[in-house]
Amino acid sequence: MKMKISFLPLFCVALLVSACSNDNIEPNTPARINEKTGISFSMTETDYEDTKIDPTRADGNSAEPKLMDLGNDFEACVMQSTIKSTTPKKIATRAITGPKHYSIRAYKDGVLKGSMKGTFNGSTFTPDAGASKQMSLEPGNYNFICYNDKFHEVGDNVELSQDDAKEAYFCQKEVTIQNQAQQFVPFEMKHACTRLAITLEIYGKPGPNAVAEIKPVGTNVPTKVTYVGATNSFTQSHDGTARGGTLTYSTLKEPDKYGNPGYVTSDNFVYFLPGTDCTDLQMNFTSGTMFGRSLANAGSIRLLTIGSTFQMNKSYDLSVLFWPRVDYLFSDGTTGSVAANPTKERIGLVIQKKTSTSRGLAMALDPISGNKYGSYSYGYNPNNGINMTHYNTVTTAMTDMNGEHWTYDASGTVGGIIKANDQNNFPGVYAAAHYNPGYTITGANVGRWFLPSLGQVIAALNMMANAADYPIDWSGYTDWAHSETGVTGKFKYICQTPLGRIFPLRGTNRKSIGTVFGWYYGYIITNTNVESTYVSGRFSNIVYVGLSRTGDNGISFSNNLFDGGGEIRPFIHF
């Protein structure tokens, strides 16, 4: 099967040499009538051109990353790389280094009029033995092509196979030959293939020494391109034997404390012929780990459209963004991954799965932001506290899984107050109980939104950290007002957990974990004596995960009343 493709978009056509071009006409050369012009040549080579990839749909709008379930608790989506710069840089040119053999042909009106072969070394061109030192052509418009020995001549045409593409160079120029004794034609040689690198971005713990094969899907990937002199165009052919290549990954960077993903850049490139459609390629891992799980057991990753087919001398860089697979609670009461349920409405991140003996637990995907959610009523005796149960240490408070009880049951509050209904005295609890996830909940098994207890918050943090293969060691967290930074503390990796995936993957709305959690309210009850800035048994900031006053990510546990702006993250049973 052959496809005829216009030469211009595939290959960067060099300048048209006109009659007034001083670069192409020897100075002070007298005009002649109907005589041949002697043509001499020079040559430079160009680097690959870094290309910005703008994924688009058929309607011309930007394509959203599609989440794929790869099995083995992996999910992934393919997108433009954010690790490497996508700003095209100026293409560098260089003189030919070392002797390199090239062939030159000149076509007029599709008919081959002249050819020669020789070796370029620096700025010197040495014709092959027995060949003329220059090409002689009559005045007129010509298509010149220059190519190295990776191309094969078939009559008046030249062909390039996929096996030879990596080291192939090519240049085509439209030149007007003047009625002069001598004329100079420069060639800017370009890579005749395209190259592709794929960066792995990871919300979790990356592993070294991954190996991936980039393979064609189906039989549409070109195995040969042919320059047809008669039409000054290229045709592509594919025989179903197209091959891909192997990418290796050895150097990795772990996720940072600001919520940015870790990444592993490929050590090398894979090469394809111009005209290859990126969507005809897929990625399969043969070794490596992510999140402590084997990549070799993961499914195939189909690459995405880049808005056009691959072009000569272009260098493309895609990213595959990996997530640990996590389940969500949907508005209909079911649970599962986004990849398996792309049309369902997410209302919560599943923290604990439902069993035959216990309810499931989910955390809201959006926080409630506002002011004075820590307010309390002075009508209560601060020495007696608010809840009926008090905790003297963080360790004991971490065992409390009764957030719904403290929110809705009168028996959980001193004085028998139902905090979920008391907006004046308990605005934070009231806000959590009246949280709106943005979708109508139709599942009969979905319960009520409530303010979480510390134990439930810890369960959420553990679920996310374990999924990312960054388990948290809570030993040593005993005293209130305990805090650690994201640089040295046990809580270093909380910003690299799967929670980040519930927010936009790209763009200005993408937030790190810390700035989303903010002041995280829940229940902490202590028997500590009242001090000027210490209120015993009051609704307070149970855990702060985010940017500290020193500008570092970290965590703190405190029973110190925070009576200012903050965020609440409701939980729900199902």
Q: What is the mean pLDDT of the chain?
A: 75
Q: 339 versus 525: which is more confidently predicted? A: 339
Residue 140 tokens read as 């007129």
Please give the angle made by the CA atoms of 142, 147 and 149, to the nearest 5 degrees.
Answer: 145
**515 pLDDT exceeds 80?**
no
CB-CB contact of 497 with 326 (8 Å): no
Q: Can you give the pLDDT at residue 91?
A: 57
Q: Can you give the pLDDT at residue 506?
A: 37
Q: Can you give the pLDDT at residue 331?
A: 97
Mean pLDDT across the stretch 326-347? 91
- What is the DSSP secondary-structure string of 82-126? SSS--SPPPPPEEEEEEEEEEEEEEEETTEEEEEEEEEEEETEEE
Q: What's the CA gap between 169 and 142, in Å, rounded?
A: 20
pLDDT, tens digit, 9 for 90 and up, residues 90-141: 556 667 777 899 999 999 999 999 999 999 887 778 899 987 777 889 999 9
Q: What's the CA gap between 320 and 318, in Å, rounded?
A: 7
pLDDT, tens digit, 9 for 90 and up, residues 199-228: 998 877 888 899 999 999 988 899 999 999
> Mean pLDDT lowest for which of 74-88, 150-164, 272-286, 353-367?
74-88
Mean pLDDT across the stretch 279-299? 91
pLDDT, tens digit, 9 for 90 and up, residues 420-478: 998 877 777 888 899 999 999 999 999 999 988 878 888 887 888 788 888 877 777 77
Nearest to 291 by CA among 463, 465, 469, 461: 469
Q: Can you give the pLDDT at residue 478?
A: 72
* 62-66 contact pairs (CB < 8 A, 24+): 63/304, 63/305, 65/304, 65/321, 65/505, 65/506, 66/304
Percent of the chain with pLDDT over 70: 68
Q: Can you give the pLDDT at residue 387?
A: 65
- Which domains, ranges and CATH numbers included, belong to the chain? 2-48+90-191 (2.60.40), 50-83+193-324 (no CATH), 328-573 (no CATH)
**248 pLDDT exceeds 70?**
yes
The confidence band for 81, taking pLDDT boundaries of 50, 70 and 90, is low
Mean pLDDT across the stretch 23-45? 61
CB-CB contact of 430 with 421 (8 Å): yes
Q: Can you give the pLDDT at residue 175?
A: 95
Helix (H) or strand (E) holding 170: strand 169-177
Q: In this structure, which amino acid lies at residue 185?
A: V
Q: Can you give the pLDDT at residue 188?
A: 93
Q: Can you give the pLDDT at residue 10?
A: 35
Alpha-carbon distances of 564 from 98, 425, 428, 534, rounded to whole Å: 71, 15, 11, 15
CB-CB contact of 142 with 135 (8 Å): no
Percent of the chain with pLDDT over 90: 34
**156 pLDDT exceeds 50?**
yes
Q: Can you give the pLDDT at residue 370?
A: 56
Mean pLDDT across the stretch 497-524? 38
Mean pLDDT across the stretch 305-311? 76
Mean pLDDT across the stretch 241-262? 81
Q: Can you give the pLDDT at residue 292?
A: 87
The confidence band for 329, taking pLDDT boundaries of 50, 70 and 90, is very high
Mean pLDDT across the stretch 324-329? 88
**504 pLDDT exceeds 50?**
no
Q: 21 versus 277: which is more confidently predicted? A: 277
CB-CB contact of 376 with 386 (8 Å): yes
Q: 252 versus 443: which is more confidently predicted? A: 443
Q: How many CB atoms are closer than 10 A to CB 370?
A: 13
Nearest to 318 by CA among 305, 300, 308, 336: 305
Q: In this structure, which amino acid lies at residue 311?
A: Q
pLDDT, tens digit, 9 for 90 and up, residues 359-392: 999 988 877 765 444 433 333 334 444 666 766 6
pLDDT, tens digit, 9 for 90 and up, residues 516-568: 333 334 444 333 333 222 233 333 333 444 433 344 445 555 544 444 445 67
User: Which range, 127-136, 193-202, 406-415, 489-498, is most confident?
Assistant: 193-202
